[in-house]
Structure 1
Amino acid sequence: MSGKVRLDAVLVQAVIAGALSFAHLHDLAAAAGQSGWKAWAYPVSVDLLLVAAWRRLRAGRDRATWTWFAIALCASLGANVATAGLLDMRHVPAWLCILVAGWPALAFLGGTLLVHAPAPTAPAANNPLDGSAEVPDVALDRADQPAPEPAPMRETTPELPAAPPAPVTPAPAVPAALLDHARKIADSHRTAHGEPITAAALAGRLGLPAPMTDAITNQLNLT
C-alpha cells in the first residue's frame, strides 16, 4: 500500500513539474516573437531532446550524449528562471530572440545525432587488437630452421670386470699308510747318510704326483 502511494506521489510531482516547465517554455517562446502553434512546439522540442538524451545515457555514457543532455536541460532551466521575474517579458533582448529562433535547427541536429549514432559499447575484455590483452607465449617450431645438432657423446672405455681369484686347490689327503712309508724312507736316509732327506729325493723315491708329494713333505717338514 505504501509503495502505491509513493508511486502516485511521484507521478503527480512529475506531471506538475512537466506542466510548469512546459508553460514557462511556451511563455518565453511567445515573448521572443513565436506566436500561435509555434510557441507550443518549443516546449515539446525541448522535452523530446531531453528525453532522447536521457534514454541514450541509460544505454551507455559518452561525451556527445552528455553534451546534448546538458543543452536541453539548460534550455528548460533557463526558461524557468527567465520567466520568474528576472526578465521583462514585454522587452525581450535581441540575443534571446536569436537563441529561440535558432533552437529548432539545434534541436533537430541533436535529435538526429542521438538517434543515428552507434550505441556506445563497453570495451571487450582481452581484445587482441589493443595492447591491454596479455598474449600467451607460444613456442613456434619453424620448419626452415635446422634442428640443433646433438651434443657429441664422450667415448668412455668400458671397465673390465676384476679377474676372479684363482681357486685354491685343497691339499690332497695323505693316507696314513703312505705317510708311514714315507717317514720310514726318510728315517732310513737319515740313518744311512746322517742328514734329513730332501723333498726332491723323497719325491724320486716315492714316484708320486707333485700334489701328493708336496702334501707328504709338508707333513714331514721336509725342505
Structure 2
Amino acid sequence: MTRSIRPDAVLVQAVIAGALSFAHLHDIAAAAGQDGWKAWAYPISVDLLLVAAWRRLRILRSTGGPIRAAWTWFAVALAASLGANVATAGLLELTNVPAWLRILVAGWPALAFLGGTLLVHTPADRETEHDPVEPVSVPASSAPEPDPAPEEIAAPDQPPAALPAAPAVNVPDALLSYARKVAAEHHTRTGAPIDIDTLRTRLGVPIPMADAIAAQLT
C-alpha cells in the first residue's frame, strides 16, 4: 500500500527561507573580500552555530541546566543571518562595503568556533554522558491496612501504645547513584547542597522516596 506524499507548507517555507538566507550570507561574505570557497563556508558556519545552539537549548531545558549562554549564541547566529538578509536588501552597496563589515566577516570564523566549543564542552554534559535512570514511582505504603481491632480499655497507669513505624522505602542502587550525580552537579553549579524539593523534582519520585534518598546522600 503506497502512501501519497502531500506537500507541507511549513517545510516549503523553511526550505525557501534557508536557501535565501544561505545566498545572502554568501553575497555578504563575497562582497567583504572572501572569494571562492571561503564565501560559501560562511553561511554553513552561521547555520551550524544556529542549529548547535538550538539543540543545546533543548538539552538544557530537559535537564534543568542554565540556558543563558545557549540563548546568547543562538541570538548571535540569528543576528548574523538576519543582518545578511537586511544588508542585501539595498541598505549596503555591495561593491563598496564599509570597513567594519569586513572586520566582522573576517572575525566570524573565530567567533563561531568559540561559540561551538562553549556549547559542546559545558559542565552539564556530565549528566548527559550516561543514560538517565527512569524515575521509579513507589507508593507511600505497600502493606495492606490491618482490620480494625476492638477497642481495649487501658489501665490508668498504662502508657499509650506507640504508633507503628512507617514502612522503610527501598531505594534502588541505580536511582541512588543517579541521585548522587544530580546532587553533585547542583552543588557545583550553585555552591549549596540540593534541597529535597529540587531533588524530588529532578528525579520525578514521590516524597517518601525523596526523603529516603536524601537520608542516604547526607
- Calculate the TM-score normalised by the size of structure 2: 0.54
Paired residue for 1:112? 117
* Greater radius of gyration (CA): 1
Ranges in structure 1 where 5+ consecutive residues have no aligned partner: 137-223
Give, in whole Å, the separation in 1 of the partners of 2:50 and 2:123: 18
- Which residue matches 2:106? 101
Q: Secondary structure at the match of 1:81?
A: helix
Q: Does 1:130 align with 2:135?
A: no
Q: State whether structure 2 residue 51 is matched by structure 1 residue 85.
A: no
Distance, in Å, in 2 between the alignment partners of 1:27 and 1:98 is: 16
Q: List aligned pairs for 1:1-223, cutoff 5 A.
A: 5=6, 8-61=8-61, 62-119=67-124, 130=193, 132-133=195-196
CA distance in 2: counterparts of 1:17 and 1:77, whole angstroms:
11
Residue of structure 2 in register with 1:184 after alignment: none
Measured in 2, the distance between the counterparts of 1:119 and 1:48 equals 21
CA distance in 1, matches of 2:95, 2:27: 11
The one-character-per-residue Cα deviations of 1:53-86 (angstroms, maximum 9, x if unpaired) are 0001011141111111110000000000000111
TM-score by length of 1: 0.53
Partner Cα separation in structure 1 for residue 27 and residue 73 of structure 2 = 23
Letter in 2 for 1:105: A
Match of 1:171 in 2: none
> Partners of 1:68 and 1:114 in 2: how far apart?
8
Q: Is this contact kept in 2: 1:25–1:76, CA < 8 A? A: yes
Letter in 1 for 2:37: W
Distance apart, 1:38 and its partner CA: 0.3
Match of 1:155 in 2: none
> Per the alignment, in what secondary structure is the counterpart of residue 60 of structure 1?
helix
Structure 1 stretches of at least 4 aligned residues deviating more than 2 Å after TM superposition: 118-121, 127-134
| 8 Å CA contact 1:53, 1:69 repeated in 2 | yes
Task: Give CA deviations for 1:10-35 in whole Å, capped at 9, x if unaligned.
Answer: 22111111000000000000000000
Residue 101 of structure 1 deviates from its aligned partner by 0.2
Give the whole-Å Cα distance in 2 for the aligned partners of 1:43 and 1:77: 12
